[in-house]
Amino acid sequence: MLDLPGGHVRGGFLMKTILIIMVYLIFAPLLGGLLAGIDRWISARMQARFGPPIWQPFYDVLKLRQKENIVVRRSQNFYIFFFLLFIIFTGGLFFAGYDLLLVIFALTLAGIFFVLGAYKASSPYSFLGAERELLQMMAYEPMVILVAIGMYMVTGSFYIADINSFPHPLLRYLPGLFLGFVFILVIKFRKSPFDLSMSHHAHQELVRGIITEFSGKTLAWIEIAHWYENVFLLGIVYLFCASQPLAGCLLALAVYFMVILVDNVFARLKWQTMLESSWAAAAVLGLGNIIVLHFLR
């Protein structure tokens, strides 16, 4: 490999990619857990409560690891393991700078493993949770793909590495897609008013929805998977302003705060409203943005 100058460069590139992925593997759950803790703290403050310590999500996960693992069907946990695996894989692809569409497909695959696990558990609550999770996926999927298309139209590449190195903030070209994406982020973060399939808060009509039948270590996996997922989703938000890294980070945090605020302000809506409004957002904000871009080009 060292004989060829090109090989050296490629080797360096590979090393860099591996390094990024390692950093992601270790720090994404830390960041994700911390964000979840901050979320709970801010939410508590918004409700005039003191709230748990910021590290609370980590305590929860550590505790869950020591609990007994109760299942209804013996194979239900495998699906969750693959959910975690593919979420990590998705994030890895994203931060390594691969094809954005591929990343979205991998995310869908991960989500489907989650849903199948809940179906497999065969309890009415988890079944209904799974069905609603699917509805949620159907609701946000168009918007996510439209974001990828919009980014491609501006930067000429689906590769996240290229999108990331685009010299101008994408927000300037894609304001509609950005707003639409923030809209569906509420679904993806499982926040009110669209926390239909499961909620972070106590009692709801679905008990705990899609995660009702998972306990112990498996529940901890689900939690960790969500941390990875949230970091990756904020990564997409960051892409909208990647030309100025600091502004990009601030944008991601601001969006996160917005979502928390929305969570605390709204009550849960019906799935009909979710489907209609998110498809309307995709059609008006997303597609509208793309139409404008198309005709301006």
Partner 1 sequence: MGSPFKKSPWVIHYDASSCNGCDIEVLACLTPVYDVERLGIINTGNPKHADIFLVTGSVNEQNKEVVQNIYQQLPEPKVVVAIGICATSGCIFRDCYNIQGGVDKVIPVDVYVPGCAARPEAIIDGIIQSLRVLEEKRQIMSSMSGSIDQMIVEKANQSDLPEILALQKIAYQSEQEIYANSSLEPLNQTMKELEQEFRSMTFLKVMVNGKIIGTIRGYKQGETAYLSREAVHPYFQGKGLGSRLIKEMESYFPLTNRFEVFTWFKSKRNIYLYEKNGYRQFKTEQVSETMEYVYLEKIVKAKGSQDEEQ
Partner 2 sequence: MINLSAVIDPGCRALFFYGGIVGLLLFLILFPLLAALVLLFANDRLRNIMVKAATVIIPVYSLGLVFTHFNLPVFHFALQIELMNRIMLALEILLGMYIFWVGLKYRKYWISILIFIQVVLMTGFELSNGHNLVIEHNLFVDKFSIIMALIIGIIGSLIGLYALGYMKDFHAHYQEPSKDNRKFFFFIIYVFLSAMFGIVFSNNLLWLYFFWEITTLCSFLLIRYKQTEEAVNNASRALLYNLLGGVAFVIAIIYLYVTKGVVELDKMIALGKAGALVPAVLLSFAGMTKAAQLPFSSWLLGAMVAPSPVSALLHSSTMVKAGVYLIIRLAPILQGSLAGLLIALVGGVTFLLGSFIAVSQSNAKRVLAYSTIANLGLIVMCGGIGTYEAVWAGIMLIIFHAIAKCLLFLNVGVIEHRIHSRDIEDMSGLIISMPRISIMMQIGIAGMFLAPFGMLISKWAVLKALVDYNPLLAVFVVFGSAATLFFWVKWMGKLLEVVKPLQDREKGISGTEMLPLYILASLTVGVCAFYPAISSRLIEPYVIDLYGRTTTMAQGNIVIMSFMMGLIALFPLSFINYGKRVKVNDSYLSGDNADSSIKFYGAAGSIKDVQIKNYYLENYFGEAKLTENGIVLCSIFLVVMFGVAFL
Closest-CA residue to 122 (of 190, 184, 76): 76
Q: Is 204 in the site for partner 1 (CB under 8 A)?
A: yes
Q: Is 272 in the site for partner 1 (CB under 8 A)?
A: no
Q: Which of residues 26-45 bind partner 1 (CB under 8 A)?
A: 40, 44
**At residue 112, what is the residue type?**
I
Name, in order, each residue with C-beta under 8 angstroms of 228's C-beta and a sequence gap of 6 or more: 28, 29, 32, 84, 87, 88, 91
Task: Answer with the entry of partner 2, partner 1, none that 47 interacts with (C-beta below 5 to 8 A by kind).
Answer: partner 1
Of 216, 261, 264, 275, the one binding partner 1 by CB under 8 A: 216
Number of Cβ atoms within 10 Å of the Cβ of 166: 17
Of 212, 230, 278, 289, the one binding partner 1 by CB under 8 A: 212
Task: Answer with the entry of partner 2, partner 1, none that 44 interacts with (C-beta below 5 to 8 A by kind).
Answer: partner 1
Burial class (CB in 10 A: 0-12, 13-18, 19+), 241: buried
Task: Answer with the entry of partner 2, partner 1, none that 121 interacts with (C-beta below 5 to 8 A by kind).
Answer: partner 2
Of 3, 6, 203, 267, the one binding partner 1 by CB under 8 A: 203
CB of 85 to partner 2, least distance (A): 6
Stretch that binds partner 1, among 155-163, 209-217, 224-232, 258-266 (CB under 8 A): 209-217
> Dihedral angle at the C-alpha atoms of 289, 292, 296, 297, nearest 10 degrees?
50
Closest-CA residue to 289 (of 189, 158, 170, 187): 170
CB of 60 to partner 1, least distance (A): 5
Structure tokens at 126: 């988890």
Kindly state the DSSP code that residue 191 receives in the 8-state scheme. -
CB of 99 to partner 2, least distance (A): 6
Interface residues toward partner 2, by CB under 8 A: 68-75, 77-78, 81-82, 85-86, 89, 93, 98-99, 101-102, 105-106, 108-109, 112, 115-116, 119-128, 130-131, 134-135, 137-139, 141-142, 145-146, 149, 152-153, 158, 207, 212-213, 272, 275, 279, 282-283, 287, 290-291, 293-294
Task: Answer with the entry of partner 1, partner 2, none that 60 interacts with (C-beta below 5 to 8 A by kind).
Answer: partner 1
**At residue 25, what is the residue type?**
L
Q: Please tell me the distance from the alpha carbon of residue 144 to that of residue 147, in angstroms, as a whole number.
A: 5
Q: Please tell me the distance from the alpha carbon of residue 112 to that of residue 147, in angstroms, as a whole number.
A: 21
Name, in order, each residue with C-beta under 8 angstroms of 273's C-beta and a sequence gap of 6 or more: 193
Do residues 218 and 210 lie in contact, with contact meaning Cβ atoms separated by under 8 Å?
A: no
Of 63, 172, 270, 294, the one binding partner 1 by CB under 8 A: 63
CB of 124 to partner 2, least distance (A): 5
Q: Please tell me the distance from the alpha carbon of residue 47 to that of residue 35, in angstroms, as a whole number.
A: 18
Q: Please tell me the distance from the alpha carbon of residue 198 to that of residue 211, in angstroms, as a whole number.
A: 7
Of 133, 213, 229, 263, the one binding partner 1 by CB under 8 A: 213
Q: Write out the residues near partner 1 by the rule CB under 8 A.
A: 40, 44, 47-53, 56, 59-60, 62-63, 66-70, 202-204, 207-208, 211-216, 219
